[in-house]
Structure 1
Amino acid sequence: MVRSVLRTLANLLLPPVCIVCRTRVGSHGLLCGACFAKIDFIAPPICDRLGVPLPYDAGSPSLSAAAIAEPPVYDRAHAVARYSVTMRELVQGFKYRDRHEGMPLFARWVARAGAELLADAGLIVPVPLYRSRLWWRRFNQSAMLAQSVARLTGVPADCFLLKRVGRTASQVGLTHDQRRRNVAGAFKVDDAAKARVRGKNIVVIDDVITTGATAEACARALKRAKAARVDVLALARAVEPTAFVL
């Protein structure tokens, strides 16, 4: 009863509003109907490797032309939605403007989008930040998301297993090849931590998959440490490779 009274008082002082447009909504941490309708959720059929939408369902396995031409280092990738206007506002507010009120919603979305990947996962690992960037930003949005998904699914998260050992330039504005070179060798698993990786199915969590270069660099480091499988799960996908079904 006390909690109910306090919640009512809090809602009177700080009425719940949409986390994008600030329109009044029924509960905190939600979107209004208009903003929710603008999110372009990624739904089947999708490429079994890259997780990008396909024009039609060709049965299983379904692979895009890009996945056939250049298979990724990671095994599978899924993302909640395309990185369109509303999703970009959500991610950038979360990442750069300390807007964390949407975290429970984001975690539910990610857990739902990655249900197949998480079903037999042994460990969730976030994409790490370099220590100076972590100090400047004060938090790692991927680690926060990983911990929230872990609480929802029961799959343990380890936010310190994968380390970023090199300070890389911002990936914004770089081509696919430039991004790949930028993060080459940027991640590692310490020798003392390799026993926690060996033989496990690992899900790497990031906020956005752009070209996949960061995800591949993380997967390469984890596979060198003898992970059985490495999948990638993200809130959004910014770039969709050619999606002809083969």
Structure 2
Amino acid sequence: MLSMRVWSRLLRQVVDLVVPQACLSCDTPGVLVCADCDSAIRATPGRARVIPAFVGAPLHVQSGVMGSPELLRVITAFKDGGRSEASSYLGTLLGGTVSAPAHHLVVPVPQSPGAYRRRGWFPLRDIARAANLDITESLTLRARHVDQASLSADERWSNVAGSMWVPPRRSTIIAGKSVIVFDDVITTGATMVEAARALYAAGARYVSGVTVAAMARRWPTYIANSQPPHDDTGRRQD
């Protein structure tokens, strides 16, 4: 049986067909994202970045754009405001960032149980679909995990450590593969690092990351403008 939140999303989609939409960021009528907000969102393209101190290998993360107030309002409207049509816009921001080769798997960061109960759906699926990405949902959160949204930077690292795993039935899918971890926004990097740790533990050969946006001010220890390395086949890992 569909939850009330799912029915609400479906109703919103029907309403959007007959009622002019408003800008996801500033409510300007008649557009999904107005020209001014779109320009602000795209003003600073994302860059390849690296978390250098990582078990096994540096973790390289590519983001479509750098975070902005306008983009955060779009993401909030999408994830928690019933504006499911925002997936098409977010998909365009992500689509130019990642092109997963056939030998790569794209694995989304799992949603916390609390977030799923609150929303009734999994936003990353819609963004991936809009970006024409085939995803493999192999990561699972342990029951003790707390939703990261309300935590400080230090609390995020403590909360997320050891919180993810790959169930045995999915380990055979991951083993020996190059994997791209997918999320909407990277803030401290804690979630990406934990996802990579769990995937390496399941036998992944190489793990990198991709996000729609990056919040640069939350990355004091990261190295900007780093270049993705080559794996042992000579291919660049993007």
Is TM (by shorter chain) over 0.5? yes
Per the TM alignment, residue 175 of structure 1 is displaced from its structure 2 partner at its CA by 4.3
Among 122, 145, 170, which residue is 2:104 paired with? 122
Identity of aligned residues (%): 26
SS at match of 1:106: helix
Per the TM alignment, residue 203 of structure 1 is displaced from its structure 2 partner at its CA by 1.5
Map of 2:163 onto structure 1: 186
Map of 1:103 onto structure 2: 87
Map of 2:207 onto structure 1: 230
Quick check: 14-23 or 198-207, which moved more?
14-23
Per the TM alignment, residue 186 of structure 1 is displaced from its structure 2 partner at its CA by 0.8
Assess, with a 3 A threshold, how the Cα gap between structure 1 residues 18 and 200 changes in structure 2: closer, same or farther: same
Tell whether the 8 Å contact from 1:79 to 1:235 is kept in structure 2 after alignment: yes
Assess, with a 3 A threshold, how the Cα gap between structure 1 residues 177 and 19 changes in structure 2: closer, same or farther: closer
Map of 2:189 onto structure 1: 212
* Residues 78-131 of structure 1 deviation map (CA, whole Å, 9 limit, x = unaligned): 11222221011011111211211111121121121223xx24552221111233
SS at match of 1:113: coil
* Residues 181-220 of structure 1 deviation map (CA, whole Å, 9 limit, x = unaligned): 2111111111111111011121211121011001111111
Task: Tell me the distance in 1 between the aligned counterparts of 2:219 and 2:147.
Answer: 20
One-letter amino acid of the structure 2 residue matched with residue 32 of structure 1: C
Map of 1:196 onto structure 2: 173
Q: Are 2:80 and 1:75 equivalent residues in the alignment?
A: no
Task: Tell me the distance in 2 between the aligned counterparts of 1:167 and 1:133.
Answer: 14
Tell whether the 8 Å contact from 2:59 to 2:193 is kept in structure 1 after alignment: no
**Higher Cα radius of gyration:** 1
* Residues 113-162 of structure 1 deviation map (CA, whole Å, 9 limit, x = unaligned): 223xx24552221111233431232112223323433xx24xx3123x11
Quick check: 13-22 or 215-224, which moved more?
13-22
SS at match of 1:38: helix
Task: Tell me the distance in 1 between the aligned counterparts of 2:24 and 2:37.
Answer: 9
Assess, with a 3 A threshold, how the Cα gap between structure 1 residues 105 and 74 changes in structure 2: closer, same or farther: farther
Map of 1:54 onto structure 2: none
Map of 1:62 onto structure 2: none
Residue-pair matches, total: 208
Runs of 4 or more above 6 Å deviation: none
Tell whether the 8 Å contact from 2:179 to 2:208 is kept in structure 1 after alignment: yes
One-letter amino acid of the structure 2 residue matched with residue 36 of structure 1: D
Structure 2: any 5+ residue segments left out of the alignment?
A: 1-14, 227-238
RMSD of aligned residue pairs (Cα, Å): 2.8
SS at match of 1:234: strand
Structure 1: any 5+ residue segments left out of the alignment?
A: 1-9, 51-66
Task: Tell me the distance in 1 between the aligned counterparts of 2:88 and 2:26.
Answer: 18
Tell whether the 8 Å contact from 1:124 to 1:146 is kept in structure 2 after alignment: no
Tell whether the 8 Å contact from 2:106 to 2:181 is kept in structure 1 after alignment: yes
Assess, with a 3 A threshold, how the Cα gap between structure 1 residues 125 and 146 changes in structure 2: closer, same or farther: farther
Assess, with a 3 A threshold, how the Cα gap between structure 1 residues 12 and 197 changes in structure 2: closer, same or farther: closer
Assess, with a 3 A threshold, how the Cα gap between structure 1 residues 207 and 112 changes in structure 2: closer, same or farther: same
Map of 2:38 onto structure 1: 36
Quick check: 85-94 or 125-134, which moved more?
125-134
SS at match of 1:39: helix
Map of 1:56 onto structure 2: none
SS at match of 2:210: strand
TM-score under structure 2 length normalisation? 0.75
